[in-house]
Amino acid sequence: MSGYWDPSIERMPFDELRSLQEDRLKSIVRYVYDHSNFYRQRFKEAGVGPDDIKQMDDLTKLPFTRKVDLRNTYPTGMFSLPVSRVVRYHVSSGTTGKPTVVGYTKDDIETWSESLARALTSIGLGRSDVIQVSYGYGLFTGGLGLHYGAEKIGATVLPTGVGNTERQIELMQDLGTTAIACTPSYFMHMVEVAEKMGVRIRNDTKLKAGIFGAEPWSLETRKRIEDATGINAYDIYGTSEISGPLFTECPQKNGIHIWADMFLTEVIDPKTGEQVGDGETGELVFTTLNKFALPLIRYRIGDLSVLDSEPCECGRTHPRIMRILGRTDDMLIIRGINVFPSQVESVLMKIPEVGDHYQIVVGREGPLDVMTVRVEVTEKGFSDKIGDLMSLKKKVAKELKSVLNISAGVELVEPGTIPRSMGKAQRVIDNRKV
């Protein structure tokens, strides 16, 4: 079992942790009321003030906030401090509308790094590791976020960013990278490129861990990555609005620990806004407890997950969220049925003849939605006879139907046909929106 970065917090008894949360909740509500015109106005509209928040249960008296609030107050209208106190901006490009801008004080950056220091330590990384950060650097939070966290634990950072894949693999070998952080789809691309260079990750590199996120990925993909390369693949979570990448799975690989001294987590029914119990799927809502440039109160992330507050076998008392099913924004509605790209992925990755890359193409035939899943066949699968390809196509269609409850077309393509991505993979092409 790996060590702890800060055992006094990570193993803090549940009651103490809860009372710490309660204290911090009261302070942050008072703080935003005093410092942010946006929150003061929003609380007044909801008929609630700092004095109404006396205990944890009072949380539900507070109104939700959403991404649209950040857009409507673009660029810095939700900030609680003047820009002179802000030491960094990150900006996430919106596919629709204005981007969202997040500001950080020096202490906010410190808290963010502390969160990742705990996470990276929990998966066994430390001073003797070389961590290759292959997330984008810049306005996106992935690169700099991991960078600061990795430096904090004293690891050696190799800040490759995205792209130039062959060079990344050479450096991985020459400088002895032991852990890599990037999107899972980019890592799968890297493995492909490495093989073409005659480099086998398992035998020819020191890589032992991958920290993969920024796009939803399935347990089946984890199994593929681990079987192919011999590394341990961990899920990482966070979104730009609440800081960036913040939390990872612990070695139990049974949920992502959310540091409760920093964040208060709720899971709600997205339709009614009511909290749902542990074990029930709903939308994640976070309240930042010690972030000061842009604190967020009951912020609806849009990601669907399940909360588990039971103690974890790793000894940490902080609650876990289960693997993200997807964003409510990513959910496709096909002929009235909800489909998450991650469901399609989990079906495909169970079929050995199917390659690692796929796309979902949605369109219309007359009034009807049609969905086609375009998948690469593995080199091995492709050399087979036409008859075998036909039966593979039928097999994929049948498995998809049994999980999704709708029929999808299946298009098998040669290995290497689907465009590879360096960052977030474009899995869905929805032609209905055009």
Report the interface residues with Zn ion, using CB under 5 A. 250, 252, 312, 314, 316
Burial readout 301-325 (b: 16 or more C-beta within 10 A, e: otherwise): bbbbbbbeeeebebebbbbbbbbbb
Q: 257 vs 300, which CB is nearer to Zn ion?
A: 257
Of 183, 186, 215, nearest to 428 by C-alpha is 215
Q: 254 vs 372, which CB is nearer to Zn ion?
A: 254
**Structural tokens at position 208:** 């032992």
User: Least distance in Å: CB of 427 to Zn ion?
Assistant: 29
Q: 234 vs 340, which CB is nearer to Zn ion?
A: 234
Q: 250 vs 284, which CB is nearer to Zn ion?
A: 250
The answer to whether the CB of 131 falls within 8 A of the CB of 158 is yes
Q: Which residue has the tokens 């996430």?
A: 92
Q: What stretches of 169-246 adopt beta strand conformation (E)?
A: 179-182, 209-212, 232-237
User: Least distance in Å: CB of 121 to Zn ion?
Assistant: 12
**Structural tokens at position 145:** 């976020």
**CA distances to 67, 121, 263, 288, 303 from 297, in Å:** 12, 29, 10, 7, 16
Please give the DSSP secondary-structure letter assigned to residue 337.
E
Tell me how far apart the alpha carbons of residues 172 and 176 are, in angstroms, rounded to a whole number: 6
User: Least distance in Å: CB of 213 to Zn ion?
Assistant: 17
Q: 312 vs 412, which CB is nearer to Zn ion?
A: 312
Count of residues for the chain? 434
Q: 27 vs 252, which CB is nearer to Zn ion?
A: 252
The answer to whether the CB of 47 falls within 8 A of the CB of 63 is no
User: Least distance in Å: CB of 11 to Zn ion?
Assistant: 11
The answer to whether the CB of 175 falls within 8 A of the CB of 147 is no
Please give the DSSP secondary-structure letter assigned to residue 65.
B
User: Least distance in Å: CB of 314 to Zn ion?
Assistant: 3
Q: 116 vs 349, which CB is nearer to Zn ion?
A: 116
Q: 207 vs 312, which CB is nearer to Zn ion?
A: 312
User: Least distance in Å: CB of 209 to Zn ion?
Assistant: 16
User: Least distance in Å: CB of 252 to Zn ion?
Assistant: 5
Tell me how far apart the alpha carbons of residues 285 and 81 are, in angstroms, rounded to a whole number: 23
User: Least distance in Å: CB of 299 to Zn ion?
Assistant: 24
Please give the DSSP secondary-structure letter assigned to residue 406.
S
